[in-house]
Amino acid sequence: MQNVFDTKVFKVVSKGKDDISYGWKGAGVAVPVFSLKSSSNFGIGEFLDLKLLADWCNKVGLKMIQILPINDTRTDGSWDNSYPYKAISTKALHPIYLNLDKMGQLDDKSDREYFRQQKEILNAKDYVDYPEVMKVKEAYFKKIFHQTWNDIKEKEDYKVFFNENKDWLVPYASFCNQRDYKSTRQQVESQSSMSTSESVSMSVSTSEFSYFLQYHLDKQLKETIDYLHEKGIALKGDIPIGIGRDSVDALANPELFNLDCQAGAPPDAFATEGQNWGFPTYNWEAMAKDDYRWWRERLTHMSRYFDAYRIDHILGFFRIWEIPIEYSQGTMGHFSPALPLEIGNGKRVRETGTGNGYGYGERDTSLLLSDSVTQRLGDLFLKDKHDSNKFHPRINMHLTQTYNELDETQKETLNKIYDDYFYHRNEALWKAEALKKLPKIIEASDMLVCGEDLGMVPACVPEVMQQLNILSLEVQRMPKKFGATFVNPKENPYLSVDTTSTHDTSTLRGWWEENGELTNRFYREMLGHHEGAPYFAEPWVCKEIIKQHMESSSMWVIIPIQDYIAMDGDFRWDQTQREQINIPANPHHHWCYKMYQSIEELIERNYLNDMISDIIKESGRN
């Protein structure tokens, strides 16, 4: 079997050369590692479970496994830490994905019995109990560390691992010390009875614990990667657009981040108040001074494990939705960078841009505000943080009472300013911003680059992504063409990843039940039926849809595992809504989806597997 990751599909596309072999197509599966269920794991999916999943992929003809971020997110062990996009380190892996048996057996018989019972309890749950899994695993880590560390630290492969990774590993371990032992440190500082040597000893011990965990994580993940590659299966990772405000990276390099701002997204159909992710935004000017070294090192490290990666919210490389730190709602943000408006002493709003270098001159569109409206200017505009005399139109300003008090002429003028600001004025600026950053960053590795380009997409984005050979993301129910309701997968660009749903949307079955009118339109317009659509997404309906996606023009079709299983009525979970991984409108959502069936059961489900295999073969994606 030809290994996909060895073909020029990856390296040529990612490097933007001219000899791209158009026509090659592959299919894959998307599933978070934490969602994997097997007889060997401990209440949560683990890296080694990907080997079992690779066996299934090999059986049905899938060539890629796409996962969510797997970096360490631990701050306090709460449910908030289940959110995989808020890492405390861009390089450290999350210890929750370790297989305990692979780390070694505990000597104490009573300890072994205790953890056996805990494993049974946690595996019996139909969801991932993140806080409890982390608590129990942490206890095991400490016991096996004290039992095995003296031997491990003398091993040659450990020494190689440490030397290759010490630049990030040492500050990460120090960060973990401060997180886990803050109260102890404060006690040490206030009590002169504890000697300096005792304090140093404590620090060394806890740092070594972090080294120990990361060594095992690297070892288990690399073992898994080797197995996938033997099967001809590629692994696709995910790069979050942001980092934790209190992360190692932000604390070690504060000059690279705007810590007085928060990244998010403007309001949309999924989150009417917008989204506030809480991440600091990037100080791109500071990053450019060393040629984006922080990003390049991040990608180089990621290539240690992955063959491809998804840039979460690639729109953030063009412009980011930036919210001042004092606000919580996404509606209080504006795009950054952006060319602001100017409000003069005469209470006249006008667009300025002369001499900005982006081909945008001053327009004659202006608006004279009344005294009463001027006093409530904040309802319509947000002050620019760099210049208090310049402003940005507020998103959805037309929903405010202040807007409604304007006369029709003022409304018409304001609508023109609003439309121009959000959809035209900044296009050249945003294109230039992306072309400054992205080429430098993606050249850091040979991984295939995919971008999540959903949402409020600037017109320049497709052009830039095509120029850099970054694969776009195409979701049938989220068309990018204005006025369209659905996307015909056969009209997708070749350099794209096609899918039925994402971790931020309902599953295929969940979407089918959300809006009967929309479902009936889809049933007629996209599937070609003339009668009314069934209320539920019957297995044969799911099969028709997935078959349609496999026949798309996209290089890759990567379907969530829930949607594959939806084709088998006797095998799929009857609790459809619980299969949705994330609800973007809820910042405190519990990321706890667990497969209803184990991977072992999936491998043995010949009816479903034969169906998937046949669809892939018929589509030419094998």
pLDDT of 352 reads 54
pLDDT of 598 reads 98
Contacts of 453 (CB under 8 A, 6+ apart): 314, 315, 461, 462, 465, 472, 473, 480
pLDDT of 385 reads 85
Residue 584: asked if its preceding bond is cis (omega within 30°), the reply is no
Query: Which of 336-345, 365-374, 480-489 is least confident?
Result: 365-374
Question: Which two tokens mark 268?
Answer: 């949309």
Q: pLDDT confidence of 23, banded at 50, 70, 90?
A: confident
Q: pLDDT confidence of 351, banded at 50, 70, 90?
A: low
Cβ pair 329, 315 in contact under 8 A:
no
pLDDT of 269 reads 73
- Provide mean pLDDT across the span 312-324: 96
3-state SS, residue 3: coil
pLDDT of 183 reads 37
Residue 482 has pLDDT above 90, yes or no: no
Query: Which of 62-71, 145-154, 414-423, 590-599 is least confident?
Result: 414-423
Residue 96 has pLDDT above 90, yes or no: yes
The Cα–Cα gap between 5 and 8 comes to: 8
User: Higher pLDDT residue, 528 or 342?
Assistant: 528
pLDDT of 374 reads 55
The Cα–Cα gap between 328 and 293 comes to: 31
pLDDT tens string 407-456: 899 899 889 999 999 999 999 999 999 999 999 999 999 999 999 999 89
Cβ pair 598, 561 in contact under 8 A:
no
Tell me which amino acid residue 578 is.
R
pLDDT of 112 reads 98
The Cα–Cα gap between 393 and 421 comes to: 8
Note the Cα 250 to chain centre separation in Å.
19
Question: How many other CB atoms are there within 10 angstroms of residue 528's CB atom?
Answer: 9
Domain spans, the chain: 339-425
pLDDT of 303 reads 97
pLDDT of 421 reads 94
Element spanning 335, H or E: strand 334-336
Angle at 433 between CA 386 and CA 275, to 5 degrees: 65
593 Rama class: left (phi>0) / alpha (psi -120 to 50) / beta = beta
The Cα–Cα gap between 99 and 50 comes to: 12
Q: pLDDT confidence of 310, banded at 50, 70, 90?
A: very high
Question: How many other CB atoms are there within 10 angstroms of residue 510's CB atom?
Answer: 19
The Cα–Cα gap between 528 and 275 comes to: 37
pLDDT of 322 reads 96
3-state secondary structure 501-570: CCCCCCCHHHHHCCCHHHHHHHHHHCCCCCCCCCCCCCHHHHHHHHHHHHCCCCCEEEEEHHHHHCCCCC
Integer-rounded Cα radius of gyration of the chain: 26
Contacts of 294 (CB under 8 A, 6+ apart): 249, 253, 256, 287
Distances (CA, A) of 293 to 115, 166, 381, 454, 462: 43, 17, 36, 27, 26
3-state SS, residue 381: strand
Query: Which of 311-325, 393-407, 490-504 is least confident?
Result: 393-407
- Provide mean pLDDT across the span 236-242: 96
pLDDT of 199 reads 43
Cβ pair 206, 176 in contact under 8 A:
yes
The Cα–Cα gap between 238 and 472 comes to: 14
Cβ pair 411, 354 in contact under 8 A:
no
If we measure between CA atoms, which residue out of 608, 439, 448 comes closest to residue 539? 608
Residue 473 has pLDDT above 60, yes or no: yes
- Provide mean pLDDT across the span 555-564: 99
Q: pLDDT confidence of 386, banded at 50, 70, 90?
A: confident
User: Higher pLDDT residue, 586 or 128?
Assistant: 128
**Edge to edge, what strands does the sheet with 390-393 contain?**
366-368, 348-351, 341-343, 390-393, 381-383
Q: pLDDT confidence of 387, banded at 50, 70, 90?
A: confident
The β-bridge partners of 324 are: 261
- Provide mean pLDDT across the span 363-371: 54
Range list of H helices, 153-276: 156-180, 182-190, 196-230, 248-252
Range list of H helices, 246-352: 248-252, 284-288, 293-302
Tell me which amino acid residue 222 is.
K
Tell me which amino acid residue 584 is.
P
3-state SS, residue 31: coil
pLDDT of 225 reads 98
pLDDT tens string 36-60: 999 999 999 999 999 999 999 999 9
Tell me which amino acid residue 235 is.
L
pLDDT of 370 reads 59
Tokens 């080694």 sit at which residue?
Answer: 48
- Provide mean pLDDT across the span 357-381: 59
pLDDT tens string 170-226: 999 999 999 887 634 544 454 444 343 444 344 446 899 999 999 999 999 999 999
Range list of H helices, 310-442: 371-374, 401-404, 408-420, 427-442
Q: pLDDT confidence of 368, banded at 50, 70, 90?
A: low
